[in-house]
Structure 1
Amino acid sequence: MQRIVYLERESIVADVRRPAFEHTWVEYPKTAPGEVVERLQGATIAIVNKAPLPAFAVDALPALKMVAVAATGTNIVDLEACRRRGIVVSNIRGYAAQTIPEHVFALLLALSRNLFAWRETVAAGRWQQAEQFCLFDHPIRDLHGATLGVVGSGSLGSGVVRLGEAFGMRVLRAEQRDATVVRPGYTPFAEVLAEADAISLHCPLTESTRHLIGAAELRAMKRSALLINTARGGIVDEAALIQALREGWIAGAGFDVITAEPPPAGHPMVDPALLALPNFILTPHVAWSSRPAIQALADQLIDNIEAFVAGTPRNVVA
């Protein structure tokens, strides 16, 4: 009989059906890193989201046969340790192909049209005191005709490409930064940095993508450009981003992710002075979490587990 342990049930708000095979099911609302090994003792299948599974934890769980990640990103699991043990690791794919691109464009529209600055202007009474019907305090830019650079070619990046084209944008798919050959339909990474009016990040966080956007890349972008990150916080050097926003290297940024989530007190990305900037928007890792998307995630999670038990594992990353 399979023993399934779900370490972070409160990480999704959805109806999680029970698998259609004989099993025992144990779930915890949340799990701290130091509780992972103890709670997974005897488990054959672990469901994780953000609770880390480093190599020492994998090696301390002799019964473990599968890790079902209730998310797309798998950087919290030591994949090499799982491969050594023959543990199957499956992730969730495609469930946010509509909701994350929509969030990207919500951020792009808010920034390009200066919505927060306009809101503050009205709240301050400027419109009420105006001598004509409208104001010109803050610049407004159209997405139509602008150039959008998309970094990452999976379902999320493709969804952003689709919406960008629907808005009438010129869309450039970025080739990998260190690529020696540019694939058909792609543009060299450096050219995307130089030409894009907005860049949206959709690549996984790996050693090769950590700080993919740093000081040099931010300085290579147009001063009028916007940077959108709904992928992972570590892809952008946050210290360089903060300096870029304060010194005007780029026009603005919209982020849904940062390096520490939830951010501890004093984290620079939630500094009140930074959050008060009209050209910076930070949302609390919610781009993925429309109700339909979360339910699709929950359904796919159990589909992955049932496929593994049936001997036909799917969405395998290790």
Structure 2
Amino acid sequence: MKKIVAWKSLPEDVLAYLQQHAEVVQVDPAQHDTFVAALKDADGGIGSSVKITPAMLEGASRLKALSTISVGFDQFDVADLTRRGIVLAHTPDVLTESTADTVFSLILASARRVVELADWVKAGEWKQSIGPTHFGVDVQGKTLGIVGLGRIGGAVARRAALGFNMKVLYTNRSANAQAEQAYGARRVELAELLATADFVCLQVPLTPETKHMIGAAEFKSMKKSAILINASRGATVDEKALIEALQNGTIHGAGLDVFETEPLPADSPLLKLANVVALPHIGSATHETRHAMALNAAENLVAALDGTLATNIVNREVLKK
């Protein structure tokens, strides 16, 4: 019987589904040696939020597939997995709408100072009608610049254009004809997007090319009234440069669901800035979506081990080996 290592707690029905197809060994990834030992005689693995290094896979000669319960795959050395002939699967579709909701909640909360003013009210500070010092800025009719118009970026564009009458600019490796036709999105170079957008929204995966793609120079090229929204990966932004830009008024504010170090350290200057909305990486964190992601990842893994997986493959070139 095939053996699967699960390094994340799974819903009961998802675990039962996997157990119909293989022996499932659940491990605590904090017990590193036990985890690595379990991988050595496993056929497949499923989990998320843990760095899987090449060293951890040495001697895992039976391993044929890994399935991450996420759309991002920066926790894996994809080239190494491909060299070993190990299929890596992910869950790019089922979390699109929930994550786009989170992105738009950051846009609204940052623009209208929702978190800051809610805390102000709870602190008993609301003693008279508010004045300009507590005003926010409009979202409707503004310009949204999306860096990376894939699935999630497209869902954000739909909310922006159809729900808030926003102009949508985007940068992408290729044109998104559907977004252009349906939402009036316009493809531009990054420099134009940064200089023009009222909200700059990052929706790119973390790769060597995208690491720190937004730094001091990029913040200086943005409007002073601009708000940065990041719900992709924290390291796409140079966090030190972001803190300086926020402290110095180079940009107006930021709505962040991701950070270079997670959980965000308690002494981070970001936590002291009123013009920052900081969330604990909740992008897809609804009961419905997380269950759908776990089930999708389990189905991906079973199909990969059977040699029938045709979608959701990160390293498709491994199939040519």
Change (3 A) 1:15 1:249: farther
Change (3 A) 1:146 1:64: same
Q: How does 1:112-123 map to 2 (within 5 A)?
A: 112-122=111-121
Say if 2:283 is the partner of 1:287. yes
Asked if the contact 1:8/1:51 (under 8 Å) is kept, the reply is no
Say if 2:133 is the partner of 1:137. yes
2:98 paired residue number: 99
Task: Give the aligned residue type for 1:169.
Answer: M
Change (3 A) 1:33 1:152: farther
Q: How does 1:221-260 map to 2 (within 5 A)?
A: 221-260=222-261
Asked if the contact 1:32/1:51 (under 8 Å) is kept, the reply is no
CA distance in 2, matches of 1:31, 1:13: 20
Give 5+ residue unaligned stretches, structure 1. none
Q: Secondary structure at the match of 1:287?
A: coil
Q: Secondary structure at the match of 1:288?
A: coil
Say if 2:6 is the partner of 1:2. no
Q: Secondary structure at the match of 2:169?
A: strand
1:206-254 CA distance string (max 9 Å, x none): 0000001011111111110000111111100000001011001100001
Task: Give the aligned residue type for 2:7.
Answer: L
Task: Give the aligned residue type for 2:302.
Answer: E
Q: How does 1:1-318 map to 2 (within 5 A)?
A: 1-9=1-9, 15-17=13-15, 18-19=17-18, 21-31=20-30, 35-122=34-121, 127-128=126-127, 130=128, 133-165=129-161, 166-176=163-173, 185-263=186-264, 267=265, 270-271=266-267, 274-313=270-309, 314-318=311-315
Q: How big is the shift at 1:191?
A: 0.5
When normalised by structure 2's length, the TM-score is: 0.87
Task: Give the aligned residue type for 2:8.
Answer: E
User: Larger % of helix: which?
Assistant: 2
Q: How big is the shift at 1:276?
A: 3.0
CA distance in 1, matches of 2:176, 2:154: 16
Change (3 A) 1:272 1:217: closer
Q: How big is the shift at 1:31?
A: 3.5
Q: Secondary structure at the match of 1:16?
A: helix
CA distance in 2, matches of 1:206, 1:274: 24
CA distance in 1, matches of 2:119, 2:301: 49
Q: How big is the shift at 1:190?
A: 0.7
Task: Give the aligned residue type for 1:4.
Answer: I
Q: How big is the shift at 1:116?
A: 3.5
1:245-302 CA distance string (max 9 Å, x none): 1001100001111122224xxx4xx436531322101111112111111011011012
Asked if the contact 2:44/2:65 (under 8 Å) is kept, the reply is yes
- Percent sequence identity is 34
Q: Let me know the Cα RMSD of the aligned residues.
A: 2.2
CA distance in 1, matches of 2:138, 2:189: 25
Q: Secondary structure at the match of 1:119?
A: helix
Q: How big is the shift at 1:309?
A: 3.0
Give 5+ residue unaligned stretches, structure 2. 178-185, 316-321
CA distance in 2, matches of 1:13, 1:254: 31
Asked if the contact 1:20/1:306 (under 8 Å) is kept, the reply is no
Q: How many matched pairs?
A: 304
Change (3 A) 1:103 1:22: closer
1:87-137 CA distance string (max 9 Å, x none): 111111112211111111111111111223433554565542x3xx54332
Change (3 A) 1:42 1:164: same
Task: Give the aligned residue type for 1:175.
Answer: N
Asked if the contact 1:59/1:81 (under 8 Å) is kept, the reply is no
When normalised by structure 1's length, the TM-score is: 0.88
Q: Comparing 109-118 with 16-25, which one deviates more in the overlay?
A: 16-25
1:138-174 CA distance string (max 9 Å, x none): 2321111100011112211111111111211111112
